[in-house]
Amino acid sequence: DAGVIQSPRHEVTEMGQEVTLRCKPISGHDYLFWYRQTMMRGLELLIYFNNNVPIDDSGMPEDRFSAKMPNASFSTLKIQPSEPRDSAVYFCASRQETTNTGELFFGEGSRLTVL
């Protein structure tokens, strides 16, 4: 299996621009998670989906952030408008529906820099 695939790996944009990050989970996985990693805050859960339905978006920092999962093999995280404080590495992760012993598989991340 190809693993969790994220794109782009690196994004540099200017403040105010729209940013879209993409994720393809592992085939057959029922759960998809979006995390943000910064030096100051560590790894934060932004939102997660089960069977394409958003379950908990309480970690989404502001209305500028939105996430969708139109089908089982694709999800997007959008920031509009972007701000310098959004600069971080954004990770997508997926897992199969199981008990809480299941492994979470991470993508390689999208490094976002907002100037």
Residues at the contact surface with another protein, assessed by CB under 8 A: 4, 31, 33, 42-43, 45, 48, 50, 55-56, 91, 93, 95, 97, 99-101, 103-104, 106-109
* Minimum separation from the CB atom of position 108 to another protein (A): 5
Beta carbon nearer to another protein, 18 or 97: 97
Residues 91, 107: contact at Cβ < 8 Å? yes
Beta carbon nearer to another protein, 41 or 62: 41
Q: Is the peptide bond before 8 cis (omega within 30 degrees of 0)?
A: yes
* Minimum separation from the CB atom of position 64 to another protein (A): 23
Please give, one letter per residue, the 3-state secondary structure of 49-81. EECCEEEECCCCCCCCEEEEEEECCEEEEEECC
Beta carbon nearer to another protein, 74 or 105: 105
Residues 36, 44: contact at Cβ < 8 Å? yes
